[in-house]
Structure 1
Amino acid sequence: MEKKKNHRIKRKRKEKPSARELHRPRSSDANAIFAQLLASLCSTPNSVIFINKCLFKLRRSLLISQTSLTSTLALLPTLLRSTQVEIVCLAADIIGAASLVSFDANEEIASDSETVKGLISLLHSRKRKVLLSACNAILDFSTTTCARRQLLKFSALNKLMFVFLQIFDGLECVCLWSEGGGSFCSLKIGIKEDKLLLVFLTATVVLINACEAEQLQGIPQSLSEAFLGILKQIRVRVSDQEVIKGAGKCNEEGHLCKSGITVSNLAECIFRLSINASQLTGFLSFEVVQRGLFGASDTSFNDFISNYWEVSPFLLARTMRDPDMHDMFGAFVQSLSWKGSVPSLLSSILQGLVACFPIASDEQNILNFLDEAKDKLGCPIVYQQDIRVVKTEMQSTKEMHYFRDFNSSCVKEPQYFTFHEILKCGQAYNEGYTVALRGLEFRYQSISAIADTLACMFGQPSVGANLYLTPPNSQGLACHFDDHCVFVCQIFGSKQWTVYSPPSQLLPRLYDNLLGSVVDCTKAGRREFILREGDILYIPRGFPHKAYTESGVGDGSPGFSLHLTLSIEVEPPFEWGGVAHFALHRWSENQKRLFYDGSNFLSQKLLLVSVNLLHVAIGIISNLDPCFRKACLTAAVSLPPDVYDSLFQSQRNTFFYLIDKIRTESRFIEVISSIEVAVHKNEDPFQQIRWLWVFCMEKETSSEYNINKSFMSEDILSLCAQHKDKLEALFLNVKSRFCSEVVFEEVVTSHRMLLQKYRSTRKQYINGMISLHDKL
């Protein structure tokens, strides 16, 4: 016994493994688990428990270390098709865990179509536990672009939307929660007591916000509309101030399932699903808008274009109207909660509005706008961008802002209007301030329909609409002139207008810097107009004007004024100067042999430069000749045939007047001198046609010769210094050929196509914004 005892003492004892070593996966673990799983799947149903243990080990191994999934990947489709709930859920969990732990694993799973389709197929299950595991896995898996692409390819989004619609049982469970601070950016969506509903909403929103435009169009219309309807209801729910105030109480009232979906994520999802909808903005007929703005006569639009358009103010008084005609502003007036008091009117107009961030006029891809603005979509209105609260003392030329802190020039961040500021607008109104709200065409379907029809009538990309509410005995804006034409439409009350003669025969261009422009009206001719309910006043761009209200004028007016302005904004490509530039571009495109005829590189470059010099010449003429600044209406549609024929002939005459001016007044020496001055001032002589370069880059990224290389001013001057005589000869040749060969009808056809590009993106933007305001 003594020997045995000593033997035990001398034997080396095994050390207990540490906790870290117990959980550290060995290199052979994944292969071992794969072998065990394969053996178990080939055996009897009694192996279910063992399979679950293997899957649990594999999941734990993935979470602790980046274990390779390659060997097990082949078994996942089989595991996902299992009739055993536990096996299916663990298989889905493994996909989610692997996707989060390793980018390589995520990519590996995404490359296996059968696994992806197997995961998506779980969304057909009627078992809540399976749905929860599948959706969680999809949410984890969708963290990479590659994975999202595969999920969309195999219709995961459609299935998620369908299931969500089946399990959504009312808005009572929806609320807001905040990460802290209570700011707009911190507000997120929460669901009370229902984790399944939350993960389905989250996964669906994530995938929708990852879609390209073509993928959004691939969603069945009925499914898209049904899901969009629910999202709008949720947005209305969380936009209610009482919900925001009560959001913090959700944890006290019950368990709150918190999502990472922000209010802006929800707004982006609504925007995306709305961009291609056709029923959001509606359409008013040409006849309704014509009778509303120009009178009942069949020749009234023709008369307006011939005698007043961009030439002189025009008043259509209500007494001149057909009393039986359709009131085109009726739907808008009915949408206001007008209860006889201005505070209630203000509240009904401002409550629930969101900011409409500007989109570039030449933007041709709506997703570019979303990339820039998506973190701010759905936020409250922004001072100066969406709303202003101003007044001007009589005889003063300076406007005063009620919200002086918001008007500070040193403030760079957006100044959001809170519910508190909205209430303050009533007080500001009582103190004589005008409330000016921009972008009504983005906020009211009825106004959007009017604006769209008017844009078609004038052949322009879009028409803006602003609202002005002015108290009695007050003036809002100081005397000023605009870079766009306006139709002032008196909705309630009355207002007195003074319109002065323009300081220049040259119409101001859109985006011209008018800040600081002093309007001296002491010597200018003037006309006085009194607008009463239903009256409409047209003011051309460049005509200085001011307006004020007076109480007790004896006409039964309430003393205050509510009017809308419909703004015809002539974008650079759609004024006559822009048409001339576009015509030259189209002609040079049709003359490719002129540039690629086998001649050497220098000759090609000189020919391209000569075309660009002619663009500069057109710009010089445009700055001096009023006709080049007028709006081109060749793309006007929805007009009666007789009206269109008359307009077309008039536009044709104008076009050839322009061509003749280009032929006789384009001078090589003047062009070179202009470029030299621009270079000396560090200015771009091609700034006026930036829109055309954007258009060229969209179309010609793969052209034989990058056209932008010949646009450098210094390059042109260098070529001119070395090859002046040859370049001048080529310039004269290009000018002569262009003026002789350009065909008006071909220009009109191409110009209409350009307009559709502009209108297409603008229409998508309006659809998205209208949808964000729907039912608010």
Structure 2
Amino acid sequence: MKKRKRRGLGATAAFDRSVFPILLAAAARSTHRRTPHGSDSTVARLLRRALSRSRPSLHPLPTSLVAILPLLLTSRNWQCSSASVAALSCEVLGAAALQSMEASETLASDAAIADCLARALRCGSQRVAEAACNAIMDLSASSAGREHLAGSAVLQSILYLFSQVEFISGVIDIRSTECSKSASKANKSFYLMVDTLVLMVNSCQVDSLHNLQQDVVRKVLPLLHKIWKNVDKLGSSTDCINSKNQLQRKEHEISEAIFRLSMNIACPAHLEPDEVRRSIFGQSVSDYENFLLNYWEKSTYLVTRKQKNLHVDSVFTSLLNEFDPKTPDTIIQSLVNGIVSCPAIASDELDISSFLREVQGSLGATVKYRQDIRVVRTNDQCDQTSIGYAMEEHFFDDGMTFQDADAFVEKCKDAFKNGFSVALRGMEFRSEKIAAIASAVADLFGQPSVGANIYFSPPRAQGLARHYDDHCVLVWQLLGCKKWMIWPDTKLLLPRLYEPFEPLDDLVDDCGGRMEILLEGDIMYVPRGFVHEAHTDVDVGGFEVNSTVDCSLHLTLAIEVEPPFEWEGFTHIALHCWTEKHWSSPFVKSQEEARTSLFALLLHVAIRLLSKNDATFRKACMVAAKLPPSSSCTTTHSKALRSNQRSFFDEIIKKIDKSCNFKEALMCIGLAVREKNDEPFQWMCWLRHLPQHGGTNDQVDFCNILGALEELLEAVSCNLEQSLTEFTDFKSKFCRCVAYEDACESFEMLLQMYRTTRNQYTRGMLALHRKHEI
């Protein structure tokens, strides 16, 4: 009798899509009853049969098979034939996901499948974990699929799996041109794990990253950082000749994953505000309070230190040691080596996700000239202005980036020997110790953040040309000495952040300047608007190459008063709080509510116009400043400070009641509406962060304000005299009934929102600059 010819396994082969899942289910039940492994073999054969057929046989994947996949993915005996079942189930899952975007999203959104993939990653079997990683990558073909998986237990499991890796150094330090098959296979598995981890981290919603276990994240970060720093080396090893065997994630994707994982990890170098206050202003509480009352935003202030006592100041000592102060070369090496660019974050950006979208592809990029660093000198041989002020000469071109880090360091050293100063911005993003000091100073002054720059100058040199700043600075002399010339602000109006700088012609009287010499440990306060320049031509001896004798190293802490945290900003918050309370009354009719909204918008504009020529509105609001706890209610100075804040507010309210001009505000709005130009109202954007009454349709879009301004103009133009009367009544009612305490509460809530985002940015950037050792 003739033997029947075996049918092929092609697409035409019989394949009962309804019976096959039932067979799998029966075999899977046997597997979970710990019956002999023959049942596992049966399941494995069925799964291989499915995979061997043409891919369309898995599309669409039978519902019954989808239902049984979680059971197959979690076979109990991982080390035996059940591992084959789990691994093959992962392959079936991946193959089905690749059939279409719809299939990928459907399978990735199945909570049971995601949970079982997470368990498979932790199973202890390398084969199963690798198959699970492949399945996750296949399911992540669509953005929706990636987000579903990243928001599940999969991310925590891949973090855990990666934290257990022990052979990372062996992979990275490969130098051989010949790699064994076993090493190549291990490296391929390692690359797959890294790719899966980075993809999941970067696909996860920022809010969900809060839920990750910090101890696991802390263990993963140094491993990931080492991989990021060695991406080129990993890509050049011989086992990476085949593109399937090499790391697929790009360098910037790995740096973004490091940034994201670090945003919610507290920095270890935390300092209490009181500790920093004592280091900067001295042990006496009254010294700091006296500074706030009599010098803050008014006059320069110098704190001198006894050289012999500097070693007992732990904050100063740790700060100086951060820069390896043996020689000029070692200082420059510590400043410049290993730094990356810190892209700017918008001043009113309170959503770190928006920032990440804007800088996608550029996190971890090399430093950019002027944005991150300046190498500059000012001397008599440089070009001069019309009135004879010396101009700056830059060693590098604007916007230049530095791909070769070692060559960049050497060029900076050469520039320094030729009289150029090295000025590095954003030190609070590059050094944990400086970040801790900056954060504590921000707390002391009740501001969202404090910037930090470092300046290293050679002997007989001037780095930056004569200028003034739009922020207050604390200058901390760390090494050597420096001579400063300072001219008081003659304009009375404090300069604001982001406003154009005025020429110095009318701001400086050469006879009216004040000279200060800062020695090591000394700290000087310079208010915003005070013109200044600094030199290292103090006669303290000759210059020796590779000696720090005549060099100067100083840190500046920039206290930048953002618009919401000036007194004008506090007044806008007070108006908003009062308007919200007025709306919440059950006796307010809808028509009156609409008028209230329009008049509130008009008063916001009138307050802004008033503040342009009134110095009081421009001062920093200090209601959230952290005064020393031991003296908050006892010392005369503390009571005076609290009283001073309330007096400021009362004075401002009187000025609003007396001077806010209806017609001037209306003219300003009319001009903007006619010209379709909302630029004069961009300052309003930060008001969007305050909670607004009513539904979405009733809320003012402060970032697209022209529509609301048009509505306002149309409403009041019908009867200007009546509108003027109603506006005056509205303004008077606000000035009589506004609650200072309500504004304080909302002010502190807004401050905390700003701080949260700034802290997330700072932690992410610090992680990219951290020097990890494995």
TM-score tier after normalising by the smaller chain length: 0.7 to 0.9
Partner of 1:540: 527
Give the distance between the partners of 1:517 and 1:703, measured in 2 at CA.
Answer: 47
Instruction: Tell me the amino acid that sits aligned with residue 513 of structure 1.
Output: P
Taking structure 1 as reference, are residues 668 and 26 closer, same or farther at Cα in structure 2, changes over 3 Å only?
Answer: farther
How far 1:597 sits from its partner (Å)? 2.5
Taking structure 1 as reference, are residues 27 and 209 closer, same or farther at Cα in structure 2, changes over 3 Å only?
Answer: farther
Tell me which of 115, 120, 138 is aligned to 2:136.
138
Partner of 2:621: 632
Matched, 1:275 2:266: no
Tell me which of 641, 661, 665 is aligned to 1:671.
665
How far 1:205 sits from its partner (Å)? 2.2
How far 1:713 sits from its partner (Å)? 3.3
Farther-moved stretch of structure 1 (30-39 vs 425-434): 30-39
Taking structure 1 as reference, are residues 682 and 38 closer, same or farther at Cα in structure 2, changes over 3 Å only?
Answer: closer
Other structure's SS at 1:259 match? coil
Taking structure 1 as reference, are residues 442 and 167 closer, same or farther at Cα in structure 2, changes over 3 Å only?
Answer: closer
Taking structure 1 as reference, are residues 625 and 633 closer, same or farther at Cα in structure 2, changes over 3 Å only?
Answer: same
Instruction: Tell me the amino acid that sits aligned with residue 494 of structure 2.
Output: L
Partner of 1:649: 643
Other structure's SS at 2:698 match? coil
Tell me which of 598, 608, 618 is aligned to 2:597.
608
Instruction: Tell me the amino acid that sits aligned with residue 597 of structure 1.
Output: V
Other structure's SS at 2:486 match? strand
Instruction: Tell me the amino acid that sits aligned with residue 95 of structure 1.
Output: L
Matched, 1:420 2:413: no
Partner of 2:451: 464
Contact 2:163 2:216 in 1 (8 A): no
Contact 1:616 1:686 in 2 (8 A): no
Q: Mapping of 1:221-620 within 5 angstroms?
A: 221-235=214-228, 238=230, 244=232, 248-251=236-239, 257-286=245-274, 288-319=275-306, 326-339=313-326, 341-394=327-380, 396-404=389-397, 406=399, 418-514=405-501, 521-522=508-509, 525-550=512-537, 552-553=539-540, 558-593=549-584, 597-600=588-591, 603-620=592-609
Give the distance between the partners of 2:734 and 2:399, measured in 1 at CA.
Answer: 52
Other structure's SS at 2:719 match? helix
Taking structure 1 as reference, are residues 682 and 254 closer, same or farther at Cα in structure 2, changes over 3 Å only?
Answer: closer
Partner of 2:767: 771
Farther-moved stretch of structure 1 (328-337 vs 343-352): 328-337
Taking structure 1 as reference, are residues 418 and 45 closer, same or farther at Cα in structure 2, changes over 3 Å only?
Answer: closer
Other structure's SS at 1:194 match? helix
Instruction: Tell me the amino acid that sits aligned with residue 252 of structure 2.
Output: S
Instruction: Tell me the amino acid that sits aligned with residue 662 of structure 2.
Output: F
How far 1:291 sits from its partner (Å)? 3.2
Instruction: Tell me the amino acid that sits aligned with residue 766 of structure 2.
Output: I
Other structure's SS at 1:356 match? coil
How far 1:541 sits from its partner (Å)? 0.4
Contact 1:364 1:758 in 2 (8 A): yes
Taking structure 1 as reference, are residues 134 and 527 closer, same or farther at Cα in structure 2, changes over 3 Å only?
Answer: same
How far 1:685 sits from its partner (Å)? 7.5
Give the distance between the partners of 1:515 and 1:725, measured in 2 at CA.
Answer: 40
Instruction: Tell me the amino acid that sits aligned with residue 736 of structure 2.
Output: S
Which string of whole-angstrom CA distances, capped at 9 and with x for unpartnered residues, describes residues 668-696 of structure 1?
22222333444566654863642443214
Instruction: Tell me the amino acid that sits aligned with residue 87 of structure 1.
Output: V
Taking structure 1 as reference, are residues 450 and 462 closer, same or farther at Cα in structure 2, changes over 3 Å only?
Answer: same
How far 1:52 sits from its partner (Å)? 4.0
Which string of whole-angstrom CA distances, capped at 9 and with x for unpartnered residues, describes residues 93-115 of structure 1?
01111112312222332354433
Give the distance between the partners of 2:508 and 2:570, measured in 1 at CA.
Answer: 33
Partner of 2:383: none
TM-score (norm 1): 0.86
How far 1:246 sits from its partner (Å)? 8.5
Instruction: Tell me the amino acid that sits aligned with residue 359 of structure 1.
Output: I
Contact 1:674 1:685 in 2 (8 A): no
Taking structure 1 as reference, are residues 771 and 153 closer, same or farther at Cα in structure 2, changes over 3 Å only?
Answer: closer
Which string of whole-angstrom CA distances, capped at 9 and with x for unpartnered residues, describes residues 309-368 of structure 1?
1111122222499768524221122222333x2122101211111111111222222222
Give the distance between the partners of 1:191 and 1:265, measured in 2 at CA.
Answer: 23
How far 1:441 sits from its partner (Å)? 0.8
Contact 2:98 2:138 in 1 (8 A): yes
Contact 1:311 1:540 in 2 (8 A): yes
Other structure's SS at 1:228 match? helix
Partner of 1:58: 50
Which string of whole-angstrom CA distances, capped at 9 and with x for unpartnered residues, describes residues 691-726 of structure 1?
443214x65683561223786434333333212123
Tell me which of 70, 89, 99 is aligned to 2:62.
70
Give the distance between the partners of 2:493 and 2:682, measured in 1 at CA.
Answer: 16
Q: Mapping of 1:4-15 within 5 angstroms?
A: none
Give the distance between the partners of 2:422 and 2:184, measured in 1 at CA.
Answer: 38
Q: How many residues align?
A: 729
TM-score (norm 2): 0.86
Contact 1:390 1:402 in 2 (8 A): yes
Give the distance between the partners of 2:124 and 2:314, measured in 1 at CA.
Answer: 53
How far 1:77 sits from its partner (Å)? 3.2
Contact 2:692 2:699 in 1 (8 A): no
How far 1:401 sits from its partner (Å)? 1.3
Partner of 1:734: 730
Taking structure 1 as reference, are residues 711 and 742 closer, same or farther at Cα in structure 2, changes over 3 Å only?
Answer: farther
Contact 1:595 1:607 in 2 (8 A): no
Give the distance between the partners of 1:152 and 1:748, measured in 2 at CA.
Answer: 39
Which string of whole-angstrom CA distances, capped at 9 and with x for unpartnered residues, describes residues 454-504 of structure 1?
111111001110011111222111111110001111111111111113241
Q: Which runs of 5+ in 2 are unaligned?
A: 1-6, 31-35, 176-182, 381-387
Farther-moved stretch of structure 1 (80-89 vs 432-441): 80-89
Contact 1:484 1:567 in 2 (8 A): yes
How far 1:599 sits from its partner (Å)? 4.2
Contact 1:432 1:474 in 2 (8 A): yes
Other structure's SS at 2:410 match? helix
Partner of 1:185: none
Contact 1:459 1:634 in 2 (8 A): yes
Q: Mapping of 1:749-760 within 5 angstroms?
A: 749-760=745-756
Matched, 1:695 2:689: yes
Other structure's SS at 1:489 match? strand
Give the distance between the partners of 1:423 and 1:711, measured in 2 at CA.
Answer: 55
Partner of 1:169: 167
Partner of 1:6: none
Other structure's SS at 2:479 match? strand
Partner of 2:209: 216
Other structure's SS at 1:328 match? helix
Taking structure 1 as reference, are residues 406 and 41 closer, same or farther at Cα in structure 2, changes over 3 Å only?
Answer: closer
Taking structure 1 as reference, are residues 22 and 757 closer, same or farther at Cα in structure 2, changes over 3 Å only?
Answer: same
Matched, 1:661 2:655: yes
How far 1:661 sits from its partner (Å)? 0.5
Taking only aligned residues, the RMSD between alpha carbons, in angstroms, comes to 3.3
Instruction: Tell me the amino acid that sits aligned with residue 264 of structure 1.
Output: H
Taking structure 1 as reference, are residues 688 and 254 closer, same or farther at Cα in structure 2, changes over 3 Å only?
Answer: closer
Tell me which of 188, 205, 212 is aligned to 1:195.
188
Tell me which of 103, 121, 128 is aligned to 1:105.
103
Taking structure 1 as reference, are residues 320 and 683 closer, same or farther at Cα in structure 2, changes over 3 Å only?
Answer: farther
Instruction: Tell me the amino acid that sits aligned with residue 204 of structure 2.
Output: C
Taking structure 1 as reference, are residues 35 and 458 closer, same or farther at Cα in structure 2, changes over 3 Å only?
Answer: closer
